[in-house]
Amino acid sequence: MNTAELLIRCLENEGVKYIFGLPGEENLHVLESLENSSIQFITTRHEQGAAFMADVYGRLTGCAGVCLSTLGPGATNLMTGVADANLDRAPLVAITGQVGTDRMHIESHQYLDLVAMFAPVTKWNAQIVRPSNTSEIVRRAFKIAQTENPGAVHIDLPENIAAMLVEGKPLTTGAIEKTYASFHSIEKAAIAIAEAKNPLILVGNGAIRDRASEMVTKFATQLNIPVANTFMGKGVIPYTHPLALWAVGLQQRDYISCGFDQADLVIAIGYDLIEYSPKKWNPNADIPIVHISVTPAQIDSSYIPIAEVVGNISDALQEILNRVDRAGKPEPYALELRAEIRADYAQYAGDDGFPIKPQKLIYDLRQVMGPDDIVISDVGAHKMWMARHYHCHRPNTCIISNGFAAMGIAIPGAIAAKLVHPQHKVVAVTGDGGFMMNCQELETALRIGTAFVTIIFNDGGYGLIEWKQENHFGHSSFIKFGNPDFVKFAESMGLKGYRIESCADLIPTLKEALAQDVPAVIDCPIDYRENLRFTQRAGDLTCKI
């Protein structure tokens, strides 16, 4: 057995089902070892696509997604998706090929110090330089990747080490034990919550990772406390719940901003500062905060908790619930906002303008998708609208690149989502800019049989940057481009292609596209004049006191 074979046995031992990547000269031994493995190697068209697939796989499953590249340009192509996983707390293991150790001391073809390069975008990384250390390195990599806060790790395997003979076996994997909060911290939190008149819950992705959705809903319901979620906390509480105030996280003020203005306590549950800076909702650092999470609070001058409850979230919420009596408390001010928020959302239900307004497109998309169906949002102007207007019944049914905000994630992410949940409808929502960054992975989707729909918000430019330029300077520049015929493009790849010609086309076209057994692409002209209109309304927003 050589080192590459031992590596693959270790990956099998960790429960790896898929490796996403590209073949190369320096990972030949790893690829050969996969020939007789239970792991399915999915050949992608670009290493960035492979990393995004591993990223979304990790986010949906809680198990590290694995991606593979060769050295040099293959490894540098991988880095964007690796960084995205790391900042969005998705467990991922990246494996790179490397030149032999006998060539590292000289300037060598395609050689880069990948351990040094990946260090800023991973939780941990290492190079295998002794075959006998392989099992330890792999076990450590997966443990670090999957432990809170999860993230990306990197293993570098030189080609001569991969070919060396070795004796060894995978190490035993062990379940990560739950940790429980101290009773002292629970008592402090309970007192603060009991005394608050206008409390507000801010829930983040950590509550999803800790599978605390049911308990958060019970906690909020019994204590009658309204809930806002970050972009990555969508679905922790069903959006139809009477206490749900939907998403917070836009750079501009929105209705929910009024709730934070009047809050006398924010209960942050599974919230990570990178999801939405506390300086946006607590700029004067004068709102008391109760922090409830698996990990301690991060340091920020606008986020200094008066109580820090660190441990299993569901257990902590139940213990606090056992100690809090809010009978007789006035209705929290934030509940008055729900009617305004819902009215703003519903006003586009009957809009028949064309090109289609982003709010209308997203409203109709929500009507077609079921509670467990999944959307993957790319990054661009449409992401802002998806974050604000696409609401979820369940956790992990709207995946948004948030911490790193990397364009190009939607199509690779949809492939991963369909692999994880083949029985669910999956839609990739992207702008025309993001679509052209990784559209080549639609061939991967067709080849491996993952049928999903891609909706293109087509405005012929980088709409989000135009929005920012218009806000800052009153004009835009360098943001327009041309596009191919997206319908012909799809058909040339053996996919189904559709173009929306009127607002009435959208729902029937979407339903037809979702019924196909091959990937489908819907080209939808979008009216991004709504961007500046939203900015104007946000600037005029006044809060009722």
The strand order across the sheet containing 307-310 reads 244-247, 227-229, 199-203, 265-269, 289-293, 307-310
DSSP tag of 68: E
Distance between the two ends of the chain, CA-based, in angstroms? 72
User: What is the C-alpha separation between 513 and 458, in angstroms, rounded?
Assistant: 18
In terms of Cβ atoms closer than 10 Å to its own Cβ (0-12, 13-18, 19+), residue 350 is exposed
User: What is the C-alpha separation between 407 and 436, in angstroms, rounded?
Assistant: 10
For residue 499, what pLDDT is reported?
98
Q: State which fold the 347-536 domain adopts.
A: Rossmann fold (3.40.50)
User: What is the C-alpha separation between 244 and 85, in angstroms, rounded?
Assistant: 28
Rounded to 10°, the helix 313-321/213-223 angle is 20
Q: Quick count: other Cβ atoms within 10 Å of Cβ 501?
A: 12
Token pair, residue 239, equals 């959006």
User: What is the C-alpha separation between 530 and 339, in angstroms, rounded?
Assistant: 22
List C-alpha distances in Å: 180 to 175, 266, 267.
16, 22, 18
Token pair, residue 200, equals 């507000």
Q: Where are the domains of the chain?
A: 3-163, 183-335, 347-536
Pairing of strands 398-400, 92-98: unpaired
Name the helix (H) or strand (E) containing 98.
strand 92-98
CATH class of 3-163: alpha beta
Q: CB of 309 within 8 A of CB of 291?
A: yes
Residue-level pLDDT, tens digit, the chain, 545 residues: 999 999 999 999 999 999 999 999 999 999 999 999 999 999 999 999 999 999 999 999 999 999 999 999 999 999 999 999 999 999 999 999 999 888 777 777 778 999 999 999 999 999 999 999 999 999 999 999 999 999 999 999 999 999 999 999 999 998 788 899 999 999 999 999 999 999 999 999 999 999 999 999 999 999 999 999 999 999 999 999 999 999 998 877 788 888 899 999 999 999 999 999 999 999 999 999 999 999 999 999 999 999 999 999 999 999 999 999 888 888 888 888 888 888 889 999 999 999 999 999 999 999 999 999 999 999 999 999 999 999 999 999 999 999 899 999 999 999 999 999 999 999 999 999 999 999 999 999 999 999 999 999 999 999 999 989 998 899 999 999 999 999 999 999 999 999 999 999 999 999 999 999 999 999 999 999 988 888 777 666 667 65
Q: CB of 248 within 8 A of CB of 230?
A: yes
The phi and psi torsions of 390 (rounded to 5 degrees) equal -95, 115
For residue 545, what pLDDT is reported?
55
CATH of 183-335, one of 3.40.50.920, 1.10.3720.10, 1.20.1540.10, 3.40.50.1220: 3.40.50.1220
Total length of the chain: 545
Name the helix (H) or strand (E) containing 4.
helix 3-13
Nearest to 197 by CA among 282, 264, 285: 264
Token pair, residue 135, equals 């099992």
User: What is the C-alpha separation between 305 and 162, in angstroms, rounded?
Assistant: 49
E strands, 263-320, in order: 265-269, 289-293, 307-310
User: What is the C-alpha separation between 395 and 403, in angstroms, rounded?
Assistant: 18
For residue 540, what pLDDT is reported?
61
* Distant-in-sequence, close-in-space partners of 227: CB < 8 Å, separation ≥ 6: 200, 201, 202, 203, 216, 220, 236, 237, 241, 243, 244, 245
For residue 272, what pLDDT is reported?
95
Beta bridge mates, 266: 200, 289
The phi and psi torsions of 153 (rounded to 5 degrees) equal -130, 165
User: What is the C-alpha separation between 204 and 268, in angstroms, rounded?
Assistant: 8
For residue 541, what pLDDT is reported?
61
* Distant-in-sequence, close-in-space partners of 190: CB < 8 Å, separation ≥ 6: 320, 323, 324
